[in-house]
Amino acid sequence: MQAQNKSVEAHTHGVGRWLVLAGVWLIYFSFGITIASMAPLIGPISAELGIGNATMGLVLGAWPLTYIVAAIPCGILLDRFGARKMLFAATIVMAASGLTRSVADTPMELLLAVGLFGAGGPMISVGAPKLIAALFEGRDRGTAMGIYVTGPYLGGIVALALTNSVLLPLVDGDWRGVMLVYAGLVALSGLVWLTLSAPRFSPAQRAGTEGGKKFNFSAFADILILPEVRLILLMSIGIFFINHAMNNWLPEILRSREFTSVAAGYWSALPAAVGIVGAIIVPRLATPNRRLTILAILFLCALVASLLLHSNLAPLLATGLILQGLARGAMMTVAILILMETPNVPPERLGLAGGLFFTTAEVGGVLGPITFGFLSAMSGGFTLPLVSITLVCIGLCVLLWLLRRMHTQPR
């Protein structure tokens, strides 16, 4: 028995979990590509399908809306069936979304194709932190979360920087061909995940990848009764409002500053590149006693960035993009760490807690792109949409102040 325990411990702390993490990272990389793939192509898609900014905002907000409906069921399924099966299922759904986008002939068909992505997204963004929480502890957990969230940022860099400059010319300028290439990449990531995960899970690791406790409705009360959880969920709305609005509209903001499509793509990749650095470093620095302070700094970075992005001066604009990328890369990760380690959240309900987080957060994910599109169409520019970001940042600072007060009060 002692030898068996040592074997399990070696697997749990050995190289196997890092290979599993690599598989999760690849799926998240494909996730990031799919999310960012529409932004560089708004111009040609809008021209071919006759879509204005307000309607395009609805299209871009379609998958977060589906995500809201799917996140809690996905969290339940993850708790029941485990991460391995559900992460593979997510890649199938995302690839199908890319495929159907490539054959869309009307704005409604495109909206439905984009919306399909939201049915697979929660399996990844809920399953990944659940898996990390099962495989890693302490400082390694923060490191692992920092590593896997670099996946979508690198995916975003690829989509933003290379879509117009490399991939679009390779497919003869046809945006539908770009969608097909990205769909194939997503499907391939699912096959790699099955290969990496199948032989690697030790008995200790299967706690995070196989079936768990069955769902019952009292589980919601176990989580939502906690006031800290409710505040974190409210903050998640603002975080995703900022992230999704900037993910989808930043290339168009830069094009309104008279950047070419290729240049706008390269500049739009700057926040994603900075986000990678922030995603790796910040969660490791965000030890439990410093997490609220670091989250406050990130909110302030997002606020200052929203002000600097009004400028036409390259140095100020670049500074704003850097600050925006730093905030975008780490706000969600730190908030999830706070949620996952909130006292009295049952460990067997981490999947459901993640589902609640992303369900609530994607309210902001829907409102961000739609608000930007609507305010842009109404005002004829992006000044008013950027003001909405500033107001959301102020609201986040207020919510964090309330959370800090709650943490300092005697229990």
Better-predicted residue by pLDDT, 216 or 146 = 146
DSSP string computed for 255-315: HTTT--HHHHHHHHHHHHHHHHHHHHHHHHH--TTTHHHHHHHHHHHHHHHHHHTT--SHH
- Residues in CB range of 244: below 8 A, 6 or more apart: 60, 61, 64, 364, 365, 366, 368, 369
**Paired tokens of 366:** 């829907």
pLDDT digit string, tens, across residues 170-210: 999 999 999 999 999 999 999 999 888 875 444 444 444 45
Distances (CA, A) of 325 to 71, 182, 268, 301: 25, 23, 10, 9
**Does residue 314 have a pLDDT over 60?**
yes
**Does residue 343 have a pLDDT over 70?**
yes
Whether 367 contacts 268, CB under 8 Å: no
Better-predicted residue by pLDDT, 56 or 275 = 56
Look at residue 275 in the predicted model and tell me its pLDDT: 81
**Paired tokens of 320:** 């704003």
> Which has the minimum average pLDDT: 255-269, 292-306, 384-398?
255-269
Q: What angle do CA 382, 386, 392 make, to 5 degrees?
A: 150
**Paired tokens of 209:** 């990848």
**Once rounded to an integer, what is the mean pLDDT over residues 40-46?**
90
Instruction: Report the greatest alpha carbon distance in the chain.
Output: 71
**Once rounded to an integer, what is the mean pLDDT over residues 252-256?**
88
**Does residue 263 have a pLDDT over 50?**
yes
Highest mean predicted confidence (pLDDT) among 61-65, 280-284, 294-298, 364-368: 294-298
DSSP string computed for 196-252: HHTTT--TTGGGGTS--PPP-THHHHHHHT-HHHHHHHHHHHHHHHHHHHHHHHHHH
**Does residue 94 have a pLDDT over 70?**
yes
Read off the pTM: 0.71
**Once rounded to an integer, what is the mean pLDDT over residues 277-300?**
84
Whether 142 contacts 337, CB under 8 Å: yes
- Cα separation, 347 vs 356, whole angstroms: 15
Question: For all residues of the chain together, what is the average pLDDT?
Answer: 83
Three-state DSSP at 22 gives: helix
DSSP state of 382: S
Look at residue 207 in the predicted model and tell me its pLDDT: 43
- The count of structural domains within the chain is 1
The residue with tokens 């706008």 is 264
- Cα separation, 211 vs 92, whole angstroms: 20
Look at residue 14 in the predicted model and tell me its pLDDT: 59
CATH number of the structural domain spanning residue 104 = 1.20.1250.20
Instruction: Using pLDDT thresholds of 50, 70 and 90, give the confidence band for residue 5.
Output: very low
Look at residue 303 in the predicted model and tell me its pLDDT: 96
Of 211, 24, 223, nearest in space to 132 by CA: 24
Question: Can you give the residue range of the structural domain that contains 58?
Answer: 2-408
pLDDT digit string, tens, across residues 369-382: 889 888 998 888 88
**Once rounded to an integer, what is the mean pLDDT over residues 326-352?**
77
Q: What angle do CA 393, 52, 95 make, to 5 degrees?
A: 80
> Which has the minimum average pLDDT: 268-282, 305-319, 342-356?
342-356
Q: Give the percent of the chain with pLDDT over 90.
A: 32
